[in-house]
Amino acid sequence: MEDNRRKVVIEELVSLVKESGSEHIGHVSVNFGRVQIIGNHIYSFLSCVDNDIDITKLVAIGCDGTSLNTGVKGGIIHNMELILNRPLQWFVCQLHANELPLRHLFAHVDKTTNGSRSLAGEIKKSLAGCEKLSVVSSTPIENTLCEVTNKKDLSTDQLYLMEICEVITADIAEKVCRR
């Protein structure tokens, strides 16, 4: 008798992108393997003749900042350096670097949560209706921002971060407030 129920298959996919131009070249299914296995899968994919990729020209790897990727003695990037027998440039996204410490801080201050992604205590009560509060003036903090020639090249998060930096360096809080 055949079982026609749907099955959920959980697998880890590693997307591989070639720069410049953010060209998606494929993905590797790694199914929660050890770092060495993941590194070997990535190397095998990149070395495949069909991909038209010269692995000897690989100079950098970009990823998020999880220890799986960046562990100095056991991360995927380090493992790739061992496989290639040469160092690589590490491009590590820091957008999530503060997530865990802030989550712990919120849990400590709030004392209670509805789970890892929601608040239930004093912080939630304090934030209720905050978007209706008036904007207050602040003292600008002097800083030099890098020049961005085309803001359309920025992601939504990067653009928002840039606007926050502009608010800090010059008292233009109304600009961000209107978002």
Is residue 61 domain-resident? Answer: yes
Q: Quickly count: other Cβ atoms within 10 Å of residue 42's Cβ.
A: 19
Q: What is the pLDDT of residues 123-135, one digit of tens each?
A: 777 878 887 887 7
Do the domain assignments include residue 122? no
Domain membership flag for residue 5? no
Is the pTM higher than 0.75? The answer reads no
Evaluate whether residue 37 is within a structural domain: yes
One domain for residues 100 and 77: no
Give the integer Cα–Cα distance in Å for 15 and 71: 19
Domain around 165 = 94-112+149-174
* Domain match, 17 and 84 both: yes
Which whole-number Å values give the CA distances from 43 to 82, 88, 140, 178, in the listed order?
11, 14, 49, 47
Query: Domain check: are 103 and 47 in the same one?
Result: no
Can you list the residues of the chain whose pLDDT is less than 70? 1-3, 9, 31-33, 49, 51, 112-119, 171-179
Are 108 and 36 in the same domain? no
Closest to 158 (Cα-Cα) out of 97, 92, 94: 94
